[in-house]
Chain A
Amino acid sequence: MLFTSLQFFAFLPIALLVFAASPARQRWIVLLLASYVFYGLAQPINLVYLGAVTAVVYACGRVIARAEPGLWRRLVLSTGLVLVLGSLLAFKFYDFIAGELSRVVGQMLGEPLAIPHIGVSTPVGYSFYAFSAASYLIDVYTARLPKTAGAADVALYVAWFPKILAGPIERATTFLPQLWEGLRANPDRLVLGLQLIVWGLFKKVVIAENLAPLVDRNFKIAAFASPMELLISVYFFAFQIYCDFSGYTDIAIGISAMFGIQLMENFRRPYLARSTTEFWGERWHISLAQWFRDYLYIPLGGSRAGTVRRYFNVMIVFLVSGLWHAGLGYGVGWTFLVWGALNGFYNWVGLATRGLWRRLGLLLPRLAASTPLWVLRAILTFHLVAIAWVFFRAKSIGDAVTILKKIATRLPELPGLIPNYPFTTEHYLGFGLILFLLAVEIVDEGRPVLQRLQSSPVWLRWSASYAVIFALLVLGRWGTKEFIYMQF
């Protein structure tokens, strides 16, 4: 079930009403049932995968919690992780690797090599709940959880419907205590939840979906599209993927708030970041970045294992992140590895120049903190990220290189082309929406817009709400089949 479907607009009020009408102690049953209905309605088979992951982490977690420290605990943890993350790897990559091996070895041998395929695509949202499940096991192992979770708690943590398709990858350490404290709907959170849902829908249905057609068209015919169209597509895609994904997250956080559950912030105005390190570390897909930090980067030695090892660890994290991102609507391919490596490289440069920025801050504190420099750095960071997104979106590495080459070779001429370029309504609408989003985010950077609205007069607050709601009706593209990230 999609957040943008008519089905969901019927499902949510029913779930809320049943939740509110249920005795506090039984509310978890309502939420668990709602989660299973939400996840299993379109493809009931997905419930089998969800059930299996839940069973594995619950059983392993229980054994780990009761066992004495030692080999047995480590063995159970490893088994659980191998089952959960191994199945994710198998779903995502087995068929791809088998295909590549068949091709390469077949070419070497001069005759076709048939390697059997699984033929099962990754269940929707699997990457997200597999990572949540894995984090639960590790948190039990490292005793980060204050008490042992029951089967129902674990099941609800893994399956909680607002986050199951595309996160945030909430930690059990913050999710489960909220269940244990008891769930109750709070009128203020209800309003906040609705505001977040409407804003998330606006980002997805109005911004992302209006940018998507032009992006899809030009990335499909990269070799034939004009450099100007490709450049516009690259800009549009950067905002399409942001609004698609952060829109989903806003809706997920909003729905959870309505049920009295607080999910973590997953995006913090990423295109205002002043460096790629800030972009990945503090602003983009924060829950995944923290997951990698806590469960991969730090166990690898993090930044305390010496300079060379630190650079190595950074690259490993980004390469694994690239692999994790493979398999969305844009398929599984080497492009994601290049995307990961490129971002790893950016972070290397970021690490190498960190000292320079620090010294600049000491020598010229006013310049370092000045708005023009902040804007300049944000623009530069945005372009670096946008270049990396080309590999993420393109069908192949060849296509990505073609796009970047075409833009780069004609770049000096592009400013001259702008005055006479036949811009269409689609272009103007796209740029208008992007500018509007950026304006909101710049205001939000100072003090959250929702907070500002809360303290503003009713007429202003309501006008803003009506404007967004009516924009959804008038400008929204509602025929969407998916959110980009839920395919991971």
Chain B
Amino acid sequence: MRHLAKSAVLFLGIGLALYAALFYAADLLVYRTGKSNPFYKIAVANQESFDWVILDASHAMPLDFADFNGFMEKETGLHIINLASPGSGPLYNRFVFEQFLANHRTRNLLYIVDSFAFYQPTWNEERFTDAKLLGRTPFDAMIARRLLSYCLHEDVDFRALLDYITGFSKINNRERFERDLWEGEKQFDRVFRPSPAMTKSRISYLYPKPPTPAGLAHYLQVFDGLVTLAQQQGIHVVAIKVPVPPEFQSQIPSEAEFDAAMNGLLGKRQVAFLDFSGALAESRFYFDTDHLNRAGATEFFETHLKAILLATAARQ
């Protein structure tokens, strides 16, 4: 029995050493293939201070597709970092923003508001366990500590922490050698032909359950925490809604109630809330049911966003 125990300890020791090597290699690979993961962007940001941080779910992501962020920076002369990630609500965005503030500064925060992300744990607590996000998040002890705190206080599943500290999703990532591109980025130059069936299916995906006032109140409170955090650091916050096709907008459930609640909250915090959701009605501006393509992003930037970015920066 003693011999077996000794062998077991040795076997485990060698196994752990091999695992550590694998973990290290997987983390290196994350840096080599990284692109759109917000924590990767924070880790490799080559400057400490930014003029703007952009946060949201996938609707803000086209503003960083291909060379678009560079284009915006060139046009405005500002330093912008887009930390949006697919399907992420205010809780996940707050987590990202806290990590950003640990080593970086920004003068402004542009939060692109999507109502779907304010109702369900699916787009908030459950995002932390998403293998695709974890598989592209570089290891950082500070992220691990923060994740532990979110597990303890924000109802995030401990499996997210376990996954992160063991690097399982990185080691197990089937797309480990591919560049970290969200599938939408490959369609950035595409023009979408409207399809009622696809729009309906997309809406039911984003709003899997009917919106509830309790869910909204909870995530508004989380969002309020994010706004408060920014304002305590002297960061100017602007909230906007980006354009979506009219057929998509018309099917969003309880949007009027959402807008009223959001206006109430942001009004109290003296944060501007600008709604551009109906600004671009033509389908040629979208690559799918609800995301701007290159033409749409350019049009939106030229007609609205550029002015917001520049006006606020000039005021400072």
What does the 1/0 interface line of A175-203 toward B look like (CB < 8 Å)?
00000000000010011000000000000
Residue B1 is within 8 A (CB to CB) of chain A in the complex? yes
A474 nearest in chain B by CB position: B171
Residue B18 is within 8 A (CB to CB) of chain A in the complex? yes
Do A187 and B1 have beta carbons less than 8 Å apart? yes
CA A187 to CA B4, docked complex, whole Å:
7
What does the 1/0 interface line of A278-293 toward B look like (CB < 8 Å)?
0000000000000000
CA A477 to CA B172, docked complex, whole Å:
8
CA A190 to CA B5, docked complex, whole Å:
12
Residue A8 is within 8 A (CB to CB) of chain B in the complex? no
Chain A residue numbers with a CB within 8 Å of B171 are: 473-474
Chain A residue numbers with a CB within 8 Å of B11 are: 462, 465
Residue A224 is within 8 A (CB to CB) of chain B in the complex? no
What does the 1/0 interface line of A467-488 toward B look like (CB < 8 Å)?
0011001101111000000000
Do A470 and B172 have beta carbons less than 8 Å apart? no
CA A190 to CA B11, docked complex, whole Å:
15
Do A466 and B18 have beta carbons less than 8 Å apart? yes
What does the 1/0 interface line of B117-134 toward A look like (CB < 8 Å)?
000000000000001000
Residue A6 is within 8 A (CB to CB) of chain B in the complex? yes
Do B1 and A476 have beta carbons less than 8 Å apart? no
What does the 1/0 interface line of A216-228 toward B look like (CB < 8 Å)?
0000000000000
Q: Looking at chain B, what size class is its interface with the partner chain?
A: 10 to 19
Do B1 and A470 have beta carbons less than 8 Å apart? no
Would you call the interface of chain B mostly helix, strand, loop, or mixed?
A: helix
Of residues 432 through 476 on chain A, the ones whose CB sits less than 8 Å from some CB of chain B are: 462, 465-466, 469-470, 473-474, 476
CA A470 to CA B14, docked complex, whole Å:
12
What does the 1/0 interface line of B154-187 toward A look like (CB < 8 Å)?
0000010010000010011010000000000000
Do B4 and A191 have beta carbons less than 8 Å apart? yes
Do B15 and A469 have beta carbons less than 8 Å apart? yes
Chain B residue numbers with a CB within 8 Å of A474 are: 22, 171-172
Do A466 and B15 have beta carbons less than 8 Å apart? yes
Given contacts A191-B4, A462-B11, contact A476 B172 (CB under 8 A): yes
CA A187 to CA B3, docked complex, whole Å:
10
Do A473 and B15 have beta carbons less than 8 Å apart? no
A195 to chain B, nearest CB (A): 12
Do A473 and B22 have beta carbons less than 8 Å apart? yes
Chain B residue numbers with a CB within 8 Å of A191 are: 4
CA A479 to CA B173, docked complex, whole Å:
12
Do A473 and B168 have beta carbons less than 8 Å apart? yes
What does the 1/0 interface line of A312-353 toward B look like (CB < 8 Å)?
000000000000000000000000000000000000000000
Chain A residue numbers with a CB within 8 Å of B174 are: 477
A290 to chain B, nearest CB (A): 35
A124 to chain B, nearest CB (A): 23
Do A462 and B4 have beta carbons less than 8 Å apart? no
Chain B residue numbers with a CB within 8 Å of A187 are: 1, 4
Given contacts A6-B159, A462-B14, A466-B18, contact A473 B4 (CB under 8 A): no
B7 nearest in chain A by CB position: A458
What does the 1/0 interface line of B10-42 toward A look like (CB < 8 Å)?
010011001100100000000000000000000
What does the 1/0 interface line of A396-431 toward B look like (CB < 8 Å)?
000000000000000000000000000000000000
Chain A residue numbers with a CB within 8 Å of B1 are: 187
CA A267 to CA B174, docked complex, whole Å:
30
CA A105 to CA B131, docked complex, whole Å:
50
B5 nearest in chain A by CB position: A187
A453 to chain B, nearest CB (A): 14
Chain B residue numbers with a CB within 8 Å of A478 are: 172
Do A473 and B172 have beta carbons less than 8 Å apart? yes
CA A478 to CA B172, docked complex, whole Å:
9
Chain B residue numbers with a CB within 8 Å of A466 are: 14-15, 18
CA A470 to CA B162, docked complex, whole Å:
18
Given contacts A191-B4, A462-B14, A478-B172, contact A470 B159 (CB under 8 A): no
CA A191 to CA B18, docked complex, whole Å:
21
Do A470 and B18 have beta carbons less than 8 Å apart? yes
A312 to chain B, nearest CB (A): 50
Do A470 and B4 have beta carbons less than 8 Å apart? no
Chain A residue numbers with a CB within 8 Å of B172 are: 473-474, 476, 478
CA A466 to CA B159, docked complex, whole Å:
24
A462 nearest in chain B by CB position: B11
B158 nearest in chain A by CB position: A6
B3 nearest in chain A by CB position: A187
Extra A-B contacts (7), CB below 8 Å, given A190-B4, A462-B14, A469-B15: A6-B159, A462-B11, A473-B168, A473-B171, A473-B172, A474-B171, A478-B172
Q: Show the binding face of A for B, using Cβ within 8 Å.
A: 6, 187, 190-191, 462, 465-466, 469-470, 473-474, 476-479
Q: Show the binding face of B for A, using Cβ within 8 Å.
A: 1, 4, 11, 14-15, 18-19, 22, 131, 159, 162, 168, 171-172, 174
- List the 9 closest A-B pairs by CB distance, nearest first: A187-B4, A473-B171, A187-B1, A473-B172, A474-B171, A466-B18, A462-B11, A6-B159, A466-B15
